[in-house]
Structure 1
Amino acid sequence: MTLRFDRRQFLMGSSALAAAGAMGLRPAFGQDGRLRLIFWGGQDRADRTYKVADLYTEQNGGDIEGEFLAWNDYWTKLATQVAGGNAPNIIQMDYRYIVEYATRSAIRPLDQFVGGPLQLTDFDEDQLEGGKVGGQLFGISLGANSVAVLVNNTAFEEVGVEPPNRDSTYDDYMAMGEAFNSANIRGGMKAISDASGTEPMLDNWLRQHGLALYTADGKLGFGEEEAVEWFRMWASLREAGVCVDAESQALDTGAMESTMVILGKSATMPSNSNQLVAYQAISQDDLTIVNYPRIAAGAGGGHYRKPSMFFSVGGSEANAQAAAEFISFFVNNPDAAQILGVERGIPCSAAVREALAPTLDEKSQIALNFVANLGDLLGPLPPPPPPAAGEIDSSLLRTISQEIAFGARSPEDGARAFVTDATAILERA
């Protein structure tokens, strides 16, 4: 039967999507074999997902209805659906939110399906562990990835300076920024976006210092002193014109099309290894990825391989098995793997990886090799973030970083407020 995706949903904007949600979406009913799927991402991810869902319904029957949204809109829409008792059957889930959704019973444990409708026999063990909460499996990893810096090679060629490499430090980015300022290409493109409010980059910077964003028992893994140093570093980069100004960074709404590299505001920005393929699809420049900057020459250990995202199961209990069957197809079927490539990360099935690798295009090969060759940059996978991590990221870190960038707070005041408020949020949660 046919796949029912409203592809216009992504273009409606957050206010229209909220209105659509208020009108109600068709619930999932076990008796008619219909599944609902929700995920975040851009058009390239959506096209790949639709094709795999089409392939699944051609071979297995049933209907799959779904929607995709930009990251910033996704979590509000999903939370609204879950709170209204209208959760989709198949939910794209992130590592930072999986504990919260699992502990609130918004997604279902999948252990009962493993070995039956859900086959995971040759899955990477670390990717399985990443989807567990309290010893139960709540998420199936759709790919392994790592944080990365997206690099516009074409822009660096225009400036006449070497792009960052695996040994580049934050000080090296300062030098690159000076070269970009002197060249003044494309109306004043900067070397890097303002990543002071980017949680993964803060996490990586802390890990290189031997610290952590969060401890295993759900507390902050750093203090005010480190927060001050972090915000001061970005204030220095901002004042030197190395990173974009506050007005430019505020244009980034979370959609790929509004990011600094795609808008031509900066030549680099924090990203993820699996996103190279999608970003290249919407850029005329030659793009690549490298690791995050080192805090000093030879410093490493900030990166880790994590599940790029999961599929989790929510919605009607009657459709839980059917949802598990679809997820199993999504991560194991060789034809599905050819469609998906590495856009969501490196496949977690050894057999799928082996079959896919020789067929990958140049950018997909770059992503695969990046994740496979982190070397001294690689550290252990941290524990899942605490339930309040999402609020700290979206409502606190981003807000305070913007306030500092616009001059409403000093780095010292912002750091004090961040640590105090983040600690209170964690205690309240």
Structure 2
Amino acid sequence: MTTMKMAAALGTVAVLGLAACSNGGTPHEAATEFAPDTEAEITFTWWGNDERAGWFEEALDLFNEEYPNVEVVRNFNPWDDYWTARNTEAAGQALPDVLMMDAGFLGEYADKGLFLDLGAYQGGLLDTGGYADTLLESGTVNDQLVGVPMGYNAWSMMYNKDLLDELGVPYPTDDMTLDDLEAYVLQVNQAGAAHDPKIYGASDYTGGFPGFIYSRMQEGEPVFTEDGAPAFDEGDVVDYLDSVADLRDNGDFYPVERTVALDPLGGFLGGEAALWFNFSTTVAQAMSDIGTENIGMVQAPTENGRHVLADHPSMLLSVAANSDEPDASAVLVDFLANSPEVKAIFGASLGAPPTDEGRAAVEQSTSDSVDFAYLDAIESEITESYPLLPSGYGSIEAKWGELHEQLLYGDIDTEQLAEELFSEMDMLLG
């Protein structure tokens, strides 16, 4: 996470504290029908670039073909500016009627009562019949449906087929254990030692907090408690980091100095490391940055080769509790989340569509096909909802990355990393 993203996340913590007394989620008798000629004016905002804005404009124009008298006032911002604006609105109880949400902020806003419970609209104005229960649960806070996923992905291990073919190394498999992974990294390192620049198996894969979340899921352990406190201790963090101590200490991971030099690409996206651990939708970024469509994807290795997976919402839609037009807002959420025409516009850029009908509407690119095939392959192993993330999660994730870089440079050890991480969480989570 960049410094600007960390600042935005910290700003969210500070400003939303002012909204803590909100009486959001005010009970509303949800309508079950919405006539096409109903007149209403609602506001809708999202984050992204000009390309995404063009797609949303096209989707909203389609919405107005069906509901010509619902005026949708449209607005978007880049990521950092988006949260700055939402924080200010949250403090004044003046959020837009409909807004795009990130899983890392959903619980934070919902805990302040800033969202309408959309559960009352299910089976009426909001169709969630085609959604997996585990995915809907990831948009549920305090037993209220406050976020409807527009797309989803899952944790994965990607690999560069071109590099592995060049080195003569077989592709990784979906049943690898952590010991297998360590041996595989060393195998790639040996094969790539004479390459200029040298090819590595992977960067240190304990470098991101999502990897730690995945590890906790495999152990059947929670990540955060219901009240947002960490459900792990410093020892758990140390054990996780020390699980790759031999590779780290022996210089077998992609060098941190080279990672910094290539920023923001890093080893895998720079074409100098074979493996990358990330959410499946990012395969599109991998193909674009590396300049190849030959990217494969399997489940990340575990201690015993078995997996516990979750569908992770990539984008969600929420309705503000302060909305004066909750019914019209719910209709817009349903349209954007479910319309096959909208899914055809966005493809998988917002994550894989959650329903079979939505996926069928996508004219799949190569990256979409790889992503969808992976999600189909692991469907039976998606048995959990992605953990609800607490207020300040964005800053916790950023702190993990910052401290891990210090660990790689040798400035701190794993015990110091865990201690400083918990000091940060004590401040952010109270």
TM-score range, shorter chain: 0.7 to 0.9
- Give the partner amino acid of 1:385: L
Partners of 2:115 and 2:201 lie apart in 1 by 41
Q: Confirm whether residue 267 of structure 1 aligns to residue 277 of structure 2.
A: no
Report matched runs for 1:268-307 at 5 Å.
268-285=275-292, 286-296=294-304, 298-301=305-308, 303-307=309-313
Offset of residue 410 of structure 1: 0.9
- Give the partner amino acid of 1:166: D
Match among 337, 344, 347 for residue 338 of structure 1: 344
What are structure 2's unaligned runs of at least 5 residues? Answer: 9-38
Offset of residue 153 of structure 1: 1.6
- Compared CA separation, residues 245 and 323, structure 1 to 2 (3 A): farther
Partners of 2:258 and 2:184 lie apart in 1 by 19
Which residue of structure 1 aligns with residue 150 of structure 2?
Answer: 142
Which residue of structure 2 aligns with residue 130 of structure 1?
Answer: 138
Q: Confirm whether residue 194 of structure 1 aligns to residue 204 of structure 2.
A: yes
Match among 95, 100, 115 for residue 103 of structure 2: 95
Partners of 1:214 and 1:238 lie apart in 2 by 28
Match among 347, 354, 366 for residue 348 of structure 1: 354
Partners of 1:57 and 1:141 lie apart in 2 by 22
Offset of residue 248 of structure 1: 4.0
Match among 232, 236, 250 for residue 242 of structure 2: 232
Which residue of structure 2 aligns with residue 25 of structure 1?
Answer: none
Which residue of structure 2 aligns with residue 212 of structure 1?
Answer: 222
Partners of 1:269 and 1:77 lie apart in 2 by 33
Offset of residue 218 of structure 1: 3.4
Offset of residue 233 of structure 1: 3.3
Report matched runs for 1:22-421 at 5 Å.
33=41, 35-39=43-47, 48-57=55-64, 59-61=66-68, 62-67=71-76, 69=78, 75=83, 78-80=86-88, 82-83=90-91, 87-182=95-190, 183-184=192-193, 185=195, 187-250=197-260, 258=265, 260-285=267-292, 286-296=294-304, 298-301=305-308, 303-314=309-320, 317-353=323-359, 355-356=360-361, 360-374=364-378, 378-381=382-385, 383-394=387-398, 396-419=399-422, 421=424
- Compared CA separation, residues 123 and 382, structure 1 to 2 (3 A): closer
- Give the partner amino acid of 1:125: D
Partners of 1:308 and 1:415 lie apart in 2 by 28
The SS at the match of 1:308 is strand
Partners of 2:244 and 2:88 lie apart in 1 by 35
Partners of 1:216 and 1:34 lie apart in 2 by 33
8 Å contact 1:39–1:91 — kept in the other structure?
Answer: no
Provide the TM-score with structure 2 as the length reference: 0.77
8 Å contact 1:300–1:376 — kept in the other structure?
Answer: no
8 Å contact 2:188–2:274 — kept in the other structure?
Answer: no
Partners of 1:399 and 1:231 lie apart in 2 by 14
User: Structure 1, residues 261-300: CA drift from partner, whole Å, max 9, x if none?
Assistant: 323343322221223234434441222322112234x343
- Compared CA separation, residues 376 and 52, structure 1 to 2 (3 A): closer
User: Structure 1, residues 209-240: CA drift from partner, whole Å, max 9, x if none?
Assistant: 33232234533333232211222234433344
8 Å contact 2:101–2:315 — kept in the other structure?
Answer: yes
Which residue of structure 2 aligns with residue 8 of structure 1?
Answer: none
Partners of 1:57 and 1:281 lie apart in 2 by 34
8 Å contact 2:152–2:311 — kept in the other structure?
Answer: yes
Partners of 2:347 and 2:60 lie apart in 1 by 15
Provide the TM-score with structure 1 as the length reference: 0.77
Partners of 1:252 and 1:422 lie apart in 2 by 30
Offset of residue 116 of structure 1: 4.8
The SS at the match of 1:317 is coil
- Compared CA separation, residues 150 and 78, structure 1 to 2 (3 A): farther
CA RMSD in angstroms comes to: 3.6
- Compared CA separation, residues 193 and 81, structure 1 to 2 (3 A): farther
Partners of 1:327 and 1:205 lie apart in 2 by 33
8 Å contact 1:39–1:67 — kept in the other structure?
Answer: yes
Aligned residues: 393
8 Å contact 1:248–1:265 — kept in the other structure?
Answer: no
Offset of residue 311 of structure 1: 1.1
- Compared CA separation, residues 80 and 265, structure 1 to 2 (3 A): farther
Identify the range of structure 1 (370-379 vs 158-167) with the bigger mean alpha-carbon deviation: 370-379
